Structure 1
């Protein structure tokens, strides 16, 4: 994207520096951030049910670790999975990696996503998907099994319907 925006080829070192600055700006914006409505309740409910949970993100590991710490939700997760050298979403690799780490077959996994590439990745992995309309309108997320505006609108019956 950067070479396109600059309308000329760019040195790889410069692209790396810009990328690093973007990630640093993201991490610096985290203090004071709060979980979205219903997120902590559902994380707690899944944990109470004995369900293993993972964050499977295309973001750099430092971003994921800082985010779960700032939100105070790290203890809900059994794994924090980032792609490393794997392709990003919509490739399902990061979700399949999480499935393997949790030792849960993909068909028994539920992905909660807000992005179209993430939903495509979940479906390609053979997983169930709950879409949350944080960044896209509901009509853009219809590939998911369930679409909600916020996690506090999700019902136990909807989750049970996935299996």
Structure 2
């Protein structure tokens, strides 16, 4: 019999986490930061919920082209995204912490030799900021941000790159996502997903292609049940 500690490359499996809204419950703070920026540039009437519905999880360039200026240059978009991200970090600095139940869930996944990765639409500075907090630091085997791929979510590039770095077939990866573009990206990558309700209500997430379950947090979730439900064969005990 093959034990879990001796699983070879073709038998490995992985959990890939979006960052904002999945590892930390912060998407409403990101939305507020975008709204504040847009108001400063003359865009009135945009509420945080609309940002969350239409563009949560996308690259800053895509968000700005969607709401502010469809012809904005990448250089200008990068400047505005950095400004927005500074505002976000300032507003959220004293509140950021792992989402409820996550640390226990990660501990269990690590004990089962499940590979752990992060695929996020965030940029380098926000990744360093978030993954450096207590409970998340040095937890993940691979991290890919929007600055490391050509196309952001809903394209599958980010998740496929994480799977490549984890040396795990996409079909053996489970994605944890809170945003609709992210769920679409996971499905396009050939990965099943679990949706969190930190950004969208459960009824919106439940019927999306590839979604196995909808959860509020990680408190009632176990890696074993996820693998059973996904039909990813677990290695047998020795």
Q: TM-score range by the shorter chain?
A: 0.7 to 0.9
Local SS of the residue matching 1:135: coil
Structure 1: 5+ residue stretches without partners = none
Q: TM-score, normalising length from structure 1?
A: 0.87
Are the counterparts in 2 of residues 130 and 148 from structure 1 also a CA contact under 8 Å?
yes
Cα distance, 1:79 vs structure 2: 1.2
Are the counterparts in 1 of residues 145 and 158 from structure 2 also a CA contact under 8 Å?
yes
Between Structure 1 and Structure 2, whose CA radius of gyration is higher? 2
Local SS of the residue matching 1:153: coil
Local SS of the residue matching 2:79: helix
2:116 matched residue in structure 1: 53
- The farther-off stretch of 21-30 and 139-148 is 21-30
Structure 2: 5+ residue stretches without partners = 1-62, 233-238
2:211 maps to 1:149:
no
1:103 matched residue in structure 2: 167
2:135 matched residue in structure 1: 72
1:81 matched residue in structure 2: 144
Q: TM-score, normalising length from structure 2?
A: 0.61
1:63-119 superposed Cα distances (whole Å, 9 cap, x missing partner): 112101124312220111113242111101000000000000000001111011111
Local SS of the residue matching 2:126: helix
Cα distance, 1:24 vs structure 2: 1.5
1:92 matched residue in structure 2: 156
Q: 1:111 to 1:9 in 2, by over 3 A?
A: closer
Are the counterparts in 2 of residues 132 and 151 from structure 1 also a CA contact under 8 Å?
no
Are the counterparts in 2 of residues 32 and 70 from structure 1 also a CA contact under 8 Å?
no
Q: 1:130 to 1:7 in 2, by over 3 A?
A: closer
Choose from 56, 76, 79 the match for 1:17: 79
Q: 1:8 to 1:30 in 2, by over 3 A?
A: same
Local SS of the residue matching 1:53: strand
1:160 matched residue in structure 2: 228
Tell me the distance in 2 between the aligned counterparts of 1:57 and 1:22: 17
2:101 maps to 1:34:
no
Tell me the distance in 2 between the aligned counterparts of 1:20 and 1:153: 36
Query: What is the aligned residue count?
Result: 163
Are the counterparts in 2 of residues 56 and 80 from structure 1 also a CA contact under 8 Å?
yes
